[in-house]
Amino acid sequence: MTQLPENLTQLLVRWSAGDRAALDELTPLVYSELRRLASRYMGRERPDHTLETTALINEAYLRLINQQSVQWQDRAHFFAVSAQNMRNILVDHARRYHASKRGAGARKVALDEQAVFNQQRAAELIALDDALKALAIADPRQSQIVELRFFGGLSIEETAEVMKLSPPTIVREWRMAKAWLRTAISRNE
């Protein structure tokens, strides 16, 4: 994670209190970090993904600044909400893509290998989202780690920093969360 200023939490708290100047000061700081996180995540997506990195960043940023009722606690809270927003955007995009590929009123003409791959990828993301919702109920901390690592693109060390946990704890929880998610997804297939 790029070195963010120590006063980031203070800016978030001031913004929560309605200070527009804090948002103006905060915007360039968090926008560049959101760009880096989204770029890392989109780098793992298929090459022909129809959602561009810039669109993901912009939509996530707009969702963040339009959340009037959030009382930002600290940078960990901010990046957890950011990762969750990116996840929701990607899952919504996958659901729309998956629906359009299942027909959604259109007449099917031909199927090619790429279309099948893209539909499978969208279905996998939807299945992951459903399993992650269940994990959030079973173990909120593991769910947050998955969001930060998978959807937010953070490394083990960055996730540990944001969550104020040790890297070995993140590694252990990440491993357990992945096993839990694999089991949950395979049960639903």
Q: What is the pLDDT of residue 55?
A: 83
Other beta carbons less than 10 A from residue 88's beta carbon? 15
Give domain limits for the chain.
Answer: 8-188
Alpha-carbon gap, residue 60 to 41, rounded angstroms: 13
Q: What is the pLDDT of residue 48?
A: 61
Confidence (pLDDT) at 181: 92
What HEC string does 68-119 produce? CCCCCCCHHHHHHHHHHHHHHHHHHHHHHHHHHHCCCCCCCCCCCHHHHHHH
Which contiguous run of DSSP H or E holds residue 41? helix 20-42
pLDDT along the chain (189 residues), means of 10: 66 85 86 78 65 82 78 78 82 75 46 46 79 93 88 82 92 95 86
